[in-house]
């Protein structure tokens, strides 16, 4: 009989959860902060652990892959809105920081703190969030006419007032919303870290090892969902200035290289360097505007005409085109930096060393091949091109190395050095793509300054060639 399987979060909660497990006598060596290993090793005892991005934990519990999971209430609420009948139950709250989701707007909107906009003049309003299901619920309750959701990977505070009218933003409290330069309108959700279970496992399996160990830490505090209703205050709305060239520049990992790329093209933005940035850095060229956003969001934003140029990655553009083949965004310049390979990744013990060998084995299986990836559309295209007969695509938010072999047969994954892949007992077969940083452009520029647009692209092209 298999032991209890528990899904644990990476990222911010990891250190506190590891300490909680140690105090309960459930310490897991592979979960200690600093470890690259994403799952407990085979034969490690009655408790099997797997590390996930929090966003992925509710679906893992719902499908029964894991018996228990530690996760922020906000991600379970986001999951339940879309899948209300999934078998995920809350066992109880756990010690840890509270998490709040706030509806907010830019100061230029004319809205005051604690007030909500009237629906007059709000036709086609854009609401941006990392929590699209909750944002959708908010927009419906507020009766926003013809609203549009902008699902983004992060940096939500960057979008008002030009690229979104409202945002549903994650913050520790109201002060955190203010600190991001936004006006807090209403707290929509408040919750913390909690222990969740698959309902079937809770009723049928012996989970006493974990439940008994954590008994003294499990509390009764409940999450709070408070949906706003339409208000009475008029809201000022904005549109992008089409008489400027708008450039999206990256935060996160890609930010280390982007300032050098910009400088080599003769573009310097005050407030943006390798280590820190303002969301709206300024250019010495008055007709150029820049905004710092996540690279994952750039293909969508350029395609929508919010930006004319973006510094992103070929992998992200490829994923976007797999989803939207006719999208009006393309690569103008391959910058050649941030180079890494993308390919199928399998367990070291898998009896194949090439993709054709693996395909023959997968097609002989009596069940669908489970493919996990942060690039689900790319994974689906890979499956079609390799003529895999039956597949199940598992979209994941990250930390994917631990999926194989228990929860997936293969990853479609990118790697620069292969260190994390090897640390988790995996190997890459034949890479099918090499990704580099690139300049994205809209095929029909949204700006009216097409001459300046062409000049900026030519600058990047010359910088890449030199």
pLDDT digits 0-9 by tens, 248-290 = 999 988 888 899 999 999 999 999 988 888 899 999 899 999 9
Q: Exposure pattern of 376-413 as b/e (b: 16+ CB <10 Å)? A: bbbbbbbbeebebeebebbbbeebbbbbbbbbbbbbbb
Distance CA(423)–CA(427), nearest Å, equals: 10
> Residue 330: pLDDT above 80?
yes
Q: Model-level pTM?
A: 0.93
Tell which CATH classification among 3.50.50.60, 3.40.190.10, 3.30.40.10, 3.30.499.10 matches the domain 245-338+436-465: 3.40.190.10
Task: Evaluate whether 194 touches 71 at the Cβ level (below 8 Å).
Answer: yes
The percentage of residues in the chain with a pLDDT greater than 90, rounded to a whole number, is 83
Task: Evaluate whether 436 touches 313 at the Cβ level (below 8 Å).
Answer: yes
- pLDDT for residue 441: 97
Q: Exposure pattern of 216-229 as b/e (b: 16+ CB <10 Å)? A: ebeeeeebebeebe
DSSP 442: E
Question: What confidence category does residue 318 fall into, taking pLDDT thresholds of 50, 70 and 90?
Answer: very high
Mean pLDDT of the chain: 93
Q: Say which range, 35-49, 82-96, 97-111, has the weakest mean pLDDT.
A: 35-49
Distance CA(296)–CA(310), nearest Å, equals: 11
51-90 pLDDT, tens digit per residue, is 999 999 999 999 999 999 999 999 999 999 999 988 999 9
Question: What confidence category does residue 419 fall into, taking pLDDT thresholds of 50, 70 and 90?
Answer: confident
CATH superfamily of 4-97+192-221: Periplasmic binding protein-like II (3.40.190.10)
6-15 pLDDT, tens digit per residue, is 999 998 899 9
- pLDDT for residue 266: 93
> Residue 46: pLDDT above 90?
no
Q: What are the residues whose beta carbons fall under 8 Å from the beta carbon of 171, sequence distance 6 or more? A: 100, 101, 102, 177, 180
Residue 273 has which token pair? 């360097």
> Residue 2: pLDDT above 70?
no
Average pLDDT over residues 324-349: 94
Query: According to CATH, where is 3.40.190.10 located in the chain?
Result: 4-97+192-221, 99-190, 245-338+436-465, 340-435
Q: Which one, of 67, 34, 62, lies nearest residue 48 by Cα?
A: 67
> Residue 416: pLDDT above 60?
yes
Secondary element (H or E) of residue 113: none
Q: What are the residues whose beta carbons fall under 8 Å from the beta carbon of 313, sequence distance 6 or more? A: 254, 295, 338, 435, 436, 437, 438
- pLDDT for residue 291: 95
Provide φ and ψ at 464, rounded to 5°.
Answer: -65, -35
211-250 pLDDT, tens digit per residue, is 999 999 999 999 999 999 999 999 999 999 999 999 999 9
- 368 vs 338, higher pLDDT: 368
Q: Say which range, 21-35, 37-51, 84-98, 138-152, has the weakest mean pLDDT.
A: 37-51
- pLDDT for residue 337: 86
Average pLDDT over residues 297-307: 97
- pLDDT for residue 173: 96
| Assigned CATH class of 99-190 | alpha beta
CA angle 459, 342, 293 (to 5 degrees): 45
Q: Which one, of 168, 181, 175, lies nearest residue 225 by Cα?
A: 168
Distance CA(102)–CA(213), nearest Å, equals: 34
Residue 296 has which token pair? 């994952």
- pLDDT for residue 277: 82
Q: Which one, of 149, 157, 101, lies nearest residue 125 by Cα?
A: 149
CATH number listed for the domain at residues 340-435: 3.40.190.10
- pLDDT for residue 420: 85
Question: Which segments of 310-442 does DSSP mark as H helices, in order?
Answer: 314-323, 355-363, 376-385, 419-423
């Amino acid at each position: 009989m298999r032991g209890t399987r528990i899904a644990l979060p990476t990222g911010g909660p990891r250190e506190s959860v590891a300490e909680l497990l140690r105090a309960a006598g459930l310490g897991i060596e592979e979960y200690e902060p600093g470890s690259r290993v994403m799952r407990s090793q085979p034969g490690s005892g009655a408790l099997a652990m797997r590390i996930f991005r929090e966003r992925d934990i509710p679906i893992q519990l719902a499908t029964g892959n894991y018996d228990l999971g530690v996760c922020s209430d906000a991600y379970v609420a986001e999951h339940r809105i879309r899948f209300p009948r999934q078998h995920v139950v809350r066992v109880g709250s756990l010690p840890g920081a509270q998490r709040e989701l706030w509806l907010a707007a830019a100061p230029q909107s004319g809205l005051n703190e604690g007030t909500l906009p009237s629906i007059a003049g709000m036709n086609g309003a854009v609401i941006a969030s990392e929590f699209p299901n909750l944002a959708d619920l908010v927009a419906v309750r507020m009766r926003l006419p013809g609203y549009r959701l902008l699902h983004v990977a992060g940096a939500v505070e960057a979008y008002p007032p030009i690229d979104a009218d409202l945002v549903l933003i994650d913050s520790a409290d109201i002060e955190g919303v203010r600190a991001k330069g936004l006006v807090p309108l209403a707290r929509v959700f408040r919750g913390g870290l909690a222990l969740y279970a698959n309902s079937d496992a809770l009723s049928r399996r012996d989970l006493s090892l974990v439940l008994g160990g954590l008994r003294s830490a499990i509390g009764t505090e409940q999450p709070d969902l408070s949906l706003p209703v339409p208000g009475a205050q008029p809201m000022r709305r904005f549109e992008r200035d089409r008489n400027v060239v708008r450039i999206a520049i990256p935060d996160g990992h890609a930010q280390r290289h982007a300032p050098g790329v910009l400088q080599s093209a003769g573009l310097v933005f005050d407030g943006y360097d390798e280590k820190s940035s303002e969301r709206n850095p300024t250019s010495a060229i008055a007709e150029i505007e820049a905004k710092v956003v996540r690279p994952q969001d750039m293909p969508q934003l350029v395609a929508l005409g919010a930006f004319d140029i973006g510094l992103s990655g070929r992998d992200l553009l490829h994923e976007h085109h797999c989803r939207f083949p006719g999208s009006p965004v393309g690569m103008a310049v391959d910058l050649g930096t941030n180079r890494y390979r993308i390919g199928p990744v399998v367990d070291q013990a898998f009896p194949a060393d090439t993709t054709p060998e693996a395909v023959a084995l997968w097609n002989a299986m009596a069940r669908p091949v489970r493919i996990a990836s942060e690039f689900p559309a790319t994974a689906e295209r890979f499956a079609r091109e390799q003529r895999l007969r039956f597949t199940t695509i598992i979209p994941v938010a990250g930390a994917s190395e631990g999926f194989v072999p228990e929860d997936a047969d293969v990853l479609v994954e990118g790697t620069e050095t292969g260190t994390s892949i090897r640390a988790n007992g995996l190997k890459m077969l034949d890479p099918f793509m090499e990704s580099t940083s690139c300049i994205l452009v809209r095929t029909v520029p949204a700006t009216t300054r097409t001459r300046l647009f062409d000049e900026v692209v030519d600058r990047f092209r010359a910088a890449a060639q030199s």
